[in-house]
Structure 1
Amino acid sequence: MTEQEIYTFIGSNIRRWRISKKWTQDELGVKLEMSRPSISNIEAGRHHISLHLLFRLAVILEISPQELISQ
């Protein structure tokens, strides 16, 4: 898996979990103090997220970080 494929995969997992919570990108953005376009870029794999952000996302989504990175 290439680096870009990894970010795309993680982004799609973030999107799946966000939708399961019935949150819009705007709502998740407010929780993370980020803009909707930033959330869109993360979900599309265009924005490379840090480990710190990955852990913040897991806490906000009430899941383990492994659930965002595993297949």
Structure 2
Amino acid sequence: MTDNSTRLYGIIGKNIKSKRKGKKLGQEELAKSISLSRSSLSNIEIGKHQPSISTIYEIAIALECAITDLLPSIKVYEEATLKIDEKYKDIFNSLPENISRKNRNIIKEILRKDD
């Protein structure tokens, strides 16, 4: 799995955990409601397990929220997957919202870290 996938599923897991706790549900209770083991749900919440889209939907239904509440926004995902020097992240994150994706990617390439 790529670093970006790992980060994506980590964000999804954190969002699931946050929604679950907001509903005052334990892992066991949520897991049972969607036919998962508690340990599987725990692994999803810490980003160790990559749930299918149907599992994410089932979790959203059980938590009575939109699936988009569990997925990161594009901005959050981009920020989590930036491979640019820390000193440039504020510059990148302050770009106007209406800047095109193509231009954002060009700027990202310019600011990219040397690996």
Residue 14 of structure 1 corresponds to 16
Residue identity opposite 2:17 in structure 1: R
TM-score (norm 2): 0.59
The structure with the largest helix share of the pair is 1
Give the Å deviation of 1:70: 2.6
Structure 2 residue ranges without an equivalent (≥5) = 74-115
Residue 66 of structure 1 corresponds to 68
Query: Alignment length, in residue pairs?
Result: 71
TM-score (norm 1): 0.94
Q: Distance in 1 between matches of 2:72 and 2:8?
A: 10
Select the structure with the greater relative contact order (CA < 8 A; seq sep ≥ 6). 1
Root mean square deviation, CA, Å: 1.1
Listed one character per residue, the Cα deviations across residues 12-55 of structure 1 (whole Å, up to 9, x for unaligned) are 00000000011110011110111111110000010101111111
Moved over 6 A (4+): none
Query: How much identity, in percent, do the aligned residues show?
Result: 35
